[in-house]
Amino acid sequence: MAPVVRRSARAIAVDDLGRLVLIKRTRPGSLPYWTTPGGGVEPDDLSMTATLTRELREELGAEADIAQQVLILSEQTDEGMLVQHFFLCHIRTIDLARRCGPEFEDPSRGLR
């Protein structure tokens, strides 16, 4: 079996009105697309839910209740295995002014 080279946490997030919360991403050289909030595990993250909590703050300025993991997807690449953990979440608050992180500091990563 190939080694896991990237592990990430992603949110299937809904707001108080039951709407699915997605992120529209625009990257240089690509068409815009919609995706679930989330991202890769960093060395300081103590758990998958800690990763997701950090990513929700960075990408949405959001605070959420994380209910449970509902799906794990894995994909084999030339570099190794990519594993994504999806969690059902209820978004309590969003403050777009609080967004931060590398997505907003590195123009090569596109617009959020």
CATH number (domain holding residue 18) = 3.90.79.10
What is the per-residue pLDDT across 40-84, written as a single tens digit (0 to 9) for each? Answer: 999 999 999 999 999 999 999 999 999 999 999 999 988 889 999
Domain total for the chain?
A: 1
Which amino acid type is present at position 16?
D
Residue 86 Cα to chain centre, angstroms:
9
Cα 74–Cα 84–Cα 36 angle in degrees, nearest 5? 130
Phi and psi at 36, nearest 5°, equal -75, 145
Phi and psi at 58, nearest 5°, equal -65, -50
Strands 4-14 and 81-94, by their bridges, are parallel
What is the per-residue pLDDT across 84-102, written as a single tens digit (0 to 9) for each? Answer: 999 999 999 998 888 887 7
| Domain that residue 100 falls in | 4-109
